[in-house]
Amino acid sequence: MNSQYGLEVDLVQNKALGAFLMFRTVQAYEKNEKTNSGCPLLLLFLVLPVLYQKDIRNALKSTRINSGLRKFTNKFSSREIKETDVLLRVHDLADSYKKLSWASFILASKANMLAVLPDDALVVSHDQKIPRKYECPSIKPMLTGADKLGAWFAKNSLYEIASNLKVRF
């Protein structure tokens, strides 16, 4: 990824980390979704824009998984944060992260972490255990965030997700 911000951003916002985050999101989705049908592919294009942005990730970090997506998005209009524009950026961020998200998804597919059910454009995870040694402290907040996103995505319709995160599919 050629970034205007340099090598540091490229090292952190890379497709391997993105693939791992997508894998964790899909696993959390499957764990929380009742019909066990798979995660809609469209939702994976929201994972990196949310988790790679520090201000969004910080709000995500301070929201409990049981609180849900609406509580998370309501934080941006609360008195403490007062950053409603952050949510309005998610759609544009998803567009700018599209190539990286796709590259991450392709890598996760090639690494046999994720698979697509082409008839329904649903993504399922392969039953894999990633060794804990790869969960280094510096990415732990992102992994926890991926787990929250997957759980919240599973409990909401595409319409509710789009409405809460201010995105268009």
Tens of pLDDT, residue by residue over 134-164, are: 678 888 999 999 999 999 999 999 999 999 9
Residue 106 is assigned to a structural domain of this protein: yes
Residue 2 is assigned to a structural domain of this protein: no
Residue 46 is assigned to a structural domain of this protein: yes
Number of C-beta neighbours around residue 167 at 10 A: 21
Residue 1 is assigned to a structural domain of this protein: no
26 has a pLDDT exceeding 90: yes
Q: What is the mean pLDDT of the segment spanning 62-79?
A: 88
Residue 79 is assigned to a structural domain of this protein: yes
Structural domain of residue 38, as residue ranges?
7-165
Confidence of residue 81 (pLDDT cuts 50, 70, 90): low
Tell me, what amino acid is at 27? Q
**Cα dihedral sign, 132-44-155-128:** negative
Q: Which residue in 54, 53, 38 sits closest to 93, CA to CA?
A: 53
| This prediction's pTM | 0.88
Q: Which residue in 19, 164, 167, 38 sits closest to 102, CA to CA?
A: 19
Residue 14 is assigned to a structural domain of this protein: yes
Assign residue 36 a region: left if phi > 0, alpha if psi is -120 to 50, beta otherwise?
left
Residue 32 is assigned to a structural domain of this protein: yes
Number of domains into which the chain is organized: 1
